[in-house]
Amino acid sequence: MAAQRAVERAVRSELRSLRVSVQSDGSAALAVSLATQIDRARGAVAAAAAAGQLRALLADLRQAAAQKPERDVIDDLNARRAKRAAG
């Protein structure tokens, strides 16, 4: 059973490392959907087509994540503090 969802788990892990949320990013949700299709595919042609789309989508997500300024815990704390101070 673990091997049956290997691609989905790997994609979710990469999305976490990129700090991309499946709930708020449509491309991330699509990546997980494609990974699930690959895991469930019964034929090589269907899996290959989804894999090509997934590869391109992950490249786009990596590029977008690299362009975002990296936030750390202190940035998050400062943002929460500012939000509380504003009301």
Domain ranges of the chain: 2-86
Mean pLDDT in residue range 18-33: 94
pLDDT of the residue at 78:
84
Q: Which residues contact 19 (CB under 8 A, 6 or more apart)?
A: 65, 68
- pLDDT exceeds 70 at position 8: yes
Structure tokens at 67: 């362009």
Structure tokens at 62: 């990596």
Structure tokens at 24: 């708020």
- pLDDT exceeds 70 at position 87: yes
More confident site: 78 or 72: 78
- pLDDT exceeds 60 at position 64: yes
pLDDT of the residue at 29:
96
The per-residue pLDDT for range 30-60, each reduced to its tens digit, is 999 999 999 999 999 999 999 999 999 999 9
CA distance 57 to 51: 10
